[in-house]
Amino acid sequence: MSMSGPKLLTVILNYKTPDMTLRSINAARQAMAGIAGEIIVVDNDSKDGSFEAISTHIQKQGWDRDNHVRVIQSGHNGGFGAGNNVGIRAGLSDGSRPDYVYILNSDAFPSPNAIDLLLTHLESTPEAGFAGSYIYGEDDDPHLTSFRFPTIAGEFEAAIKFGPVTRLFKNRIVPIPIPSETRPVDWLAGASLMMRQSVLDEIGLFDERFFLYFEETDLCRRARKAGYRTDYVRPSEVMHIGSVSTGMKTWSRVPTYWFDSRLHYFVKNHGAFYAACATCVHLAGGFLHWLRCLITNRRSGVPPYFLRTLAWHDLSACFRALMRKGKQDTLSKPVIGE
């Protein structure tokens, strides 16, 4: 790493997708030409031979020369945020700290100038802490990756799916239409996201209590609270297949960890009462949407059992929290006669 200029650490997290990950590494290598930096690949405890396959290929291709590409093990699968944190904490091979960290999904492939455009933007825009790319699919269709922070109003709008409500809460709708030019947003999906190391030092890394989903939302919110923007950099383009590791496209039901992450996000950032209100208005909006679809004989488009699972999940979590509080109160009471 003898080049001058800011140092960049690219982190690619692998989970049981070795061939896809190698393709992503190669695209990142080409996009990092002329940039002082390294790529670190974190195998998130795949236990399927991924670590060995990726390591062997990198050595055969000579990508590991001068420590430009390294492969490490996470030791356990703690999820997206935890796995990326392993790579961020590992840092550069010479022990120095990078100026920027770039998170790239293992099924994402940056165009030749995509990484440099993000780096240049952050170098020239000190008020921006994070910067992300325009994401598109294999069919060239754009992917929606720009969002507002979730709110109670946004929860109701998303659940009821009703035109007049959408117009009323137009500034609370969580998805932001894909920007046609570079602009600030609340948060970006983490398929291609560059972050200032100094900002991470100030606000901390990904919250590892999120297994999957909402971890980028939370991180960008912490950056916003510390005074740093998250910018959508339109000229930086990355092709993303999507959901290869998570299998989201083939879900028959939304998994428990999504509900866990959603609840943790609201409780952590807004408190338990706000989280309960957000769930109640989502359930109310969802019920009204279901009722309208029933009357008009339309498909709801909602995953099977979503509303009942949301209600039961959050109610159970509330009950467990009350039980824990009760036990703590009991243990904290003084014993008579002491």
Which residues in the chain show pLDDT less than 50? 1, 245, 336-338
Residue-level pLDDT at 244: 54
Q: Where among 247, 272, 295 does a domain terminate?
A: 247
Residue-level pLDDT at 251: 57
Rg of the chain, C-alpha, whole Å: 22
Nearest Cα residue to 118 out of 214, 196, 29: 196
Residue 269 falls inside a structural domain: yes
Residue 337 falls inside a structural domain: no
What CA–CA distance (Å, rounded) separates 175 from 150? Answer: 9
Same domain for 218 and 124 = yes
Residue-level pLDDT at 39: 98
Helices (H), the chain: 18-31, 50-61, 80-90, 114-124, 152-160, 163-168, 197-203, 215-225, 256-270, 272-296, 306-332
What CA–CA distance (Å, rounded) separates 29 from 25? Answer: 6
322: Cα separation from own chain's centroid:
30
Residue-level pLDDT at 328: 74
Residue-level pLDDT at 213: 96
Output the pTM of the full model: 0.92
Range of the domain at 215: 7-142+178-247
What CA–CA distance (Å, rounded) separates 97 from 83? Answer: 18
Same domain for 324 and 204 = no
| DSSP reduced 3-state for 233 | strand
Same domain for 220 and 89 = yes
Same domain for 263 and 115 = no
Residue-level pLDDT at 289: 97
Same domain for 292 and 206 = no
Q: Where among 226, 247, 268 does a domain terminate?
A: 247
